[in-house]
């Protein structure tokens, strides 16, 4: 019971995490900044980022 993660919390955690499409680096930023194109990957400077949340589709535990 203690290990159960509330869905809302999980969503919030994933919502602000993006994955670089080039180097798979993680970038944490608000949706707002992403939409404005202010966020770049720290490693490769790529602006091609995707939501980490999408990763969960294929791998349901």
Chain residues that interact with Zn ion, rule: CB under 5 A: 20, 22-23, 25, 41, 43-44, 46
Q: Which is nearer to Zn ion, 42 or 56 (CB)?
A: 42
Min. distance of Cβ 18 from Zn ion in angstroms? 10
Min. distance of Cβ 40 from Zn ion in angstroms? 8
Q: Which is nearer to Zn ion, 44 or 53 (CB)?
A: 44
**Residue 47 φ/ψ, nearest 5 degrees:** -100, 5
**Residue 55 φ/ψ, nearest 5 degrees:** -65, -25
Distance CA 1, CA 26 (A): 29
């Amino acid at each position: 019971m203690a290990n159960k993660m509330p869905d809302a919390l999980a969503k919030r955690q994933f919502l602000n995490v993006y994955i670089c499409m080039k180097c798979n680096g993680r970038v944490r930023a608000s949706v707002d900044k992403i939409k404005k194109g202010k966020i770049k990957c720290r490693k490769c400077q790529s602006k091609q980022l995707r939501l980490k949340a999408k990763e969960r589709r294929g791998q349901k535990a």
